[in-house]
Structure 1
Amino acid sequence: MASAPADAVTRPAEGPATMPEDADPALWVIRDEDTTIYLFGTVHILKPGMTWFDEAVKDSFDASEELVIEMIKPDPAEMMKIVNELAIDKTGVSLRDKLTEEDRAAYEAALTRLNLPVAAFDPLDPWFASVNISLIPLMRSGYAADQGAETELLAQAAARQMTITGLETPEQQLGFFDNLPEEVQINFLNFTVATIDEAAEGMDQMVIEWANANVDALGELMNAGLEDRILYETLLVNRNITWADWVEQRMEQPGTIFLAVGAGHLAGDSSLQAILAQKGLVAERIEY
């Protein structure tokens, strides 16, 4: 990463990271004479009771006049309309009929273990099945979408009447998945099925790394399912490039911004900070 020395983002030498009593996720800042943009990596779903919105994170947020997140969710009815337009298969071929015999057997076995009908996602695209199946074991182990970092940030922003900006529309964000080649979508689904029994444990480890600001370890875990080059470029790299352009343009305007995106976007060789560094914008790690 371009913004922090290697020893600032690795695990402690004494052994694997454990959940701290008080989480201190990684935070960066980009500054010029009249503009400040804080970069904060989020986890979209968390378990209730985690303390992280304090210290440098809260101080940086309180100093900001605008919150920027990946996407502002529309009301549930509008979101359902968008999902129906994008997620329902248009070919008329059942999802399970798109799988090989071996993959179909594994898929049906996974749904059975999750107490779902094997035909539950038959009319839908593979990407939608993958995303939703992956969430089920997490929810059952105590994670909740309304406990994610964005939820807290949005509540704080609303209370302070801050400007809230989305980098992407819902159609764009879901479209990244929907426009993937079907073969890539199926590989993504097969990966989800193969790892479903370890999903909750894997999520626990991601949150531990996030809470300890172990950026590299977190990035490896969060992007583990993106080995496919098209998937990696579509869901991570290309979006980071677009967001870096947004940051570059926003630095031309005065003000203080708190930009919060998924923590996986702020780790690794293709991180948002690395792309910004190529533009001459150095994100400095805030140690706290």
Structure 2
Amino acid sequence: MIKTLLRAAGLFAFAAWTTPLAAHQAAAPAAQAQTVDADPALWVVKDADTTVYLFGTIHLLKPGLSWFDEAVKTAFDRSDELVQEVVLPDPQTVQKALIATAINPTGPGLEERLPADTRKAYLAALADVGVPAASFDRFDPWFAATNLTVLKLVKAGYDPNSGAEQALTAAAKQAGKRVTGLETLEQQFGYFDSLSEKSQIAFLTDTIKQLPDAEKEVGKMVAQWSAGDPDALAETMNEGLDATPEVAKILLLDRNVRWANWIADRMAKPGTVFVAVGAGHLAGKDSVQAQLAAHRLKAERVPY
């Protein structure tokens, strides 16, 4: 499920703000290291008067990766508007969205809702990231899965402030570019909340199983992203996706279709737009680019 989270919305939303549960933990200061060059993939869809760049992001990165340069920076500078998965609102709005979608005030606690053979591993995962055992008792399984992933990656040195979206948003604001979102935070949380209880439990259970290898797996995906190899990235991220078809449909396929529809509509208006979404949405057979075929639009890879 960690791979699914990197493909999907949740990590950007959770990494970009600090929950009370995560406030005690911050990324350890990284040793000064040589900057590593990265050349992630970039695509463009264009007609006579409209240009839409498509850039795949990684929601959390370690400091020291140089990706916001060359063709990516050129495309960004040419754009009038930055479009991301979501524009994060103020903390009060975030809190309200969480209360509406993530809290389970009645019934058994989260530990009791898990399969008996998973509970010990769940408690061990909480202890590993320094979270008290009862912290997620009144939250839904999707919320625990997402937070555990973020906390595990932060512990491994991944910095929410080094994520691609944060850099792009800061640059857009500095340049006076308009920043808009394809979705609202309420919608993103709602996608997770709409998952059935069975799928949410499977989501959390699979996340717990994958946490010990999280740093290794994410490192592999970041390397593939840095090398501009979306085919390899898709293969890595698709591993195990068939195990949770409801999660894949709601968090990935359905959103790719909607985003392709948005791009098709946007092509009717002149201008240049830089669209930045999770890299997994731009990789594989169900990618946004593949969905554009239904609109007779083709995304071309930008060479650099």
- The amino acid of 1:207's aligned partner reads V
Q: Counterparts of 1:125-274 in structure 2 under 5 Å? A: 125-224=140-239, 226-227=241-242, 228-274=244-290
Evaluate the alpha carbon distance shift between residue 226 and residue 84 of structure 1 in structure 2; reply closer, same or farther with a 3 A threshold. Answer: farther
Tell me how far 1:76 sits from its aligned partner. 1.9
Number of the residue aligned with 1:278: 294
| Aligned match of 1:65 | 80
* 1:53 paired residue number: 68
SS of 2:241's partner is coil
Per the TM alignment, residue 136 of structure 1 is displaced from its structure 2 partner at its CA by: 1.4
User: Runs of 5+ in structure 1 lacking a partner?
Assistant: 1-18
- Alignment deviations for residues 234-259 of structure 1 (CA, whole Å, 9 cap, x no partner): 00000011111100000000000000
Corresponding residue SS for 2:216: helix
1:89 touches 1:123 (CA, 8 Å); kept in 2?
A: yes
Structure 2 counterpart SS, 1:80: helix
Identity of aligned residues (%): 49
Given residue 208 of structure 2, which amino acid in structure 1 is its aligned partner?
V
Q: Which residue of 2 aligns with 1:87?
A: 102
Question: Aligned-pair distance for 1:116?
Answer: 2.5
Contact residue 103 and residue 139 of structure 2 kept, 8 A: yes
Corresponding position of 2:7: none
Question: What is the alpha-carbon distance in structure 1 between the residues aligned to residue 276 and residue 240 of structure 2?
Answer: 22
Conservation of the 8 A alpha-carbon contact between 1:65 and 1:163: yes
Letter matched to residue 282 of structure 2: L
Relative to structure 1, the CA distance from residue 84 to residue 221 in structure 2 (aligned partners, 3 Å threshold; closer, same or farther) is farther
Q: Residue 46 of structure 1: CA displacement?
A: 0.8
Letter in 2 for 1:35: T
* Count of paired positions: 270
Q: 2:111 aligns with which of 75, 96, 101?
A: 96
TM-score, length-scaled by structure 2: 0.86
User: How many Å apart are 1:47 and its aligned residue?
Assistant: 1.1
Give, as a single letter, the amino acid of the residue that structure 1 aligns with 2:181. G
| Larger CA deviation: 89-98 vs 134-143 | 89-98
* 1:225/1:73 CA distance change after superposition, 3 Å: farther
Partners of 1:135 and 1:222 in 2: CA distance: 17
Q: How far apart are the structure 1 equivalents of 2:108 and 2:79?
A: 49
CA contact (8 A) 1:86 1:178 kept: yes
Asked whether 1:119 is paired with 2:134, we answer: yes
Q: 1:16-69, CA deviations, whole angstroms, 9 ceiling, x for partnerless residues?
A: xxx993100000000101000000000011111211111100000111101100
Q: Classify the secondary structure of the residue corresponding to 2:109.
A: coil
Q: Which runs of 5+ in 2 are unaligned?
A: 1-33
Q: Distance in 2 between matches of 1:118 and 1:90?
A: 17
Q: TM-score, with normalisation over the residues of structure 1? A: 0.90
Q: Tell me the residue number matched to 2:23.
A: none
Alpha-carbon distance in structure 1 between the residues aligned to 2:183 and 2:123? 34
Which amino acid is 1:258 matched to?
A: F
Change (3 A) 1:156 1:72: same
Q: Choose which of 43, 48, 51 in structure 2 pairs with 1:28.
A: 43
Q: Distance in 2 between matches of 1:59 and 1:26?
A: 13
